[in-house]
Amino acid sequence: MPAASSHDFIDRCAWAVDLSPEQRERVKRVTTVREYAQGDYVCHKGEMAEHWLGVVEGIVKITTVSPSGKSVTFTGVPTGGWFGEGAVLKSEIRKYDVMALRRSRIAFVPRDTFQWLLDTSLPFTRFLLMQFNERLGQFIAAVEYERLLDIDSRVARAVSSLFNEHLYPSLGNTIEISQEEIGLLAGISRQRANQALKVLEQQGLVRVDYGVIVVLDLEGLRQYGE
DNA sequence: TCATTAAATTGTT
DNA sequence: AACAATTTAATGA
């Protein structure tokens, strides 16, 4: 079914540029793409991980349930981001839930192909190492942000975590995201997201346009509230 | 290119 | 949650 042209997004992935034509061909052949509506779950905690997942278009959020029972967002993953490598690598179950914040298309790379790339491509292995390192950084930031009760700070974190030049290189300093989606991401109401974004805009950290957020001071955004 | 309209998003209560 | 205002995108003259 998948004509080569329908999987062109593979060519634009940072981890694919250094693959051999044969490797890329195999990836394109076995990769499937599924579409999800807003609010749909891409995968659930506890499921066996059979695929490495990429956001072809849209945005998803990765959440876990804290011991106290409340849902806490680990991070959002925008277009161009890949996730789920941890569970695939170790043939484990998913450690989190993944929900689409808007209509999104998700790519599924089968586990055996993922393993094969790891075995045969040094550039791919390097990419994965980088990805793990960046995610570790995000995790550390998330642990700190857990104790931040201030809503404005949490929104600042949620937005700044979307801007990572290694994990999501295609993003630049602008992201198309509505305030409702910010609310979903940060676990707050759209109204409160609107309020928080105004505060951040007044501080000169972001510019809020129609359906768009432009980051003016990424470092300031990351450190906001500390 | 401009005007009209519908849909999405934002501002406010 | 509801409503009004604003912006965008699509349509057709």
Residues A225 and A156 sit within 8 Å (Cβ to Cβ): yes
Cβ neighbours of residue A92 under 8 Å, at least 6 residues apart?
Answer: A48, A49, A86
pLDDT of residue A176: 95
Question: Which residue has the least CA–C1' distance to nucleotide C6?
Answer: A210
The class level of CATH for A149-223 reads mainly alpha
| A32 in contact with nucleic chain B (CB within 7 A) | no
A214 touches strand C (CB under 7 A): no
Is it true that domain A4-145 has CATH number 3.60.10.10? no
Every domain of chain A and the residues it spans: 4-145, 149-223
Q: Give the separation between CA A186 and CA A142, rounded to whole angstroms.
A: 12
DSSP string, A53-120: EEEEESEEEEEEE-TTS-EEEEEEEETT-EE-HHHHHTT-B-SSEEEESSSEEEEEEEHHHHHHHHHH
pTM of the model: 0.89
Nearest nucleotide to A212 (CA to C1') is B9
How wide is the angle at C-alpha A71 spanned by C-alphas A34 and A132, nearest 5°?
Answer: 60
Residue A108 contacts residue A33 (beta carbons within 8 Å): yes
Strand B, nucleotides < 7 Å from a protein CB: these are 8-13
For the CA of A184 and the C1' of B6, the distance in angstroms is 26
Residue A223 CA to B4 C1' — how many Å? 47
Low pLDDT (below 70) residues in chain A = 1-6
Nucleotide nearest to A211 (CA to C1'): B9
A51-61 confidence digits (pLDDT tens): 999 999 999 99
Q: How far is the CA of A211 from the C1' of B8 (A)?
A: 9
